[in-house]
Amino acid sequence: MRALRIALEIAVVVVFAILLKQNWQFRHIKANLPRPTSFEAKETLPSLNVIGADGKKGIFDPGPGRNLLLIGDPRCGSCEHVLQQMPADHSMVLSIANPETTRSSKFASVYHGPIYSLTEPPRDARLHHVPQILLVESQRVVRTCADVRDCR
């Protein structure tokens, strides 16, 4: 009987050790997962060097109040479709393409609001997912939208 008790106690300790190891492995895997492929609500936009359609260089700033932001690429057909729905007031476009490509694209001829281009290729993986329609306030994402009409 004593041998059975010792065997059961050892079994409980072994099972507990296995559970601890699995828990640690799960937490380690979860902590090392890649970041999301697009921006999410409550995230802060990264500091980005941009050039405006007027040729002025600066740091991207959506300005005060809530604004609609389209992150897009002029070479993307879906981005052009979304761009045609964008209102000119309280909205802006952030092109991930270089300034020359953006200036010579439909972005500049179709949309009459502010357009900014990145001065260097984006390093943040979230910027590669286009189109993204975001409602932003200052540098913070308030809401992500599937359609321009959802963000008004």
Residue 93 and residue 72 in contact, taking contact as beta carbons nearer than 8 Å? yes
What does the pLDDT profile of the chain (152 residues) look like in tens digits? 899 999 999 999 999 999 998 888 888 776 666 655 899 999 999 999 999 988 999 999 998 889 999 999 999 999 999 999 999 889 999 999 999 999 898 888 889 899 999 999 988 889 999 999 999 998 999 999 999 988 86
Expressed as residue numbers, the domain containing 29 is: 1-33
Q: Is there a single domain that holds both residue 18 and residue 84?
A: no
Q: Is there a single domain that holds both residue 117 and residue 53?
A: yes
Is 43 part of a structural domain of the chain?
no
pTM over 0.85, yes/no: no
Q: Is there a single domain that holds both residue 122 and residue 84?
A: yes
Report the number of distinct structural domains present in the chain: 2
Q: Is there a single domain that holds both residue 22 and residue 54?
A: no
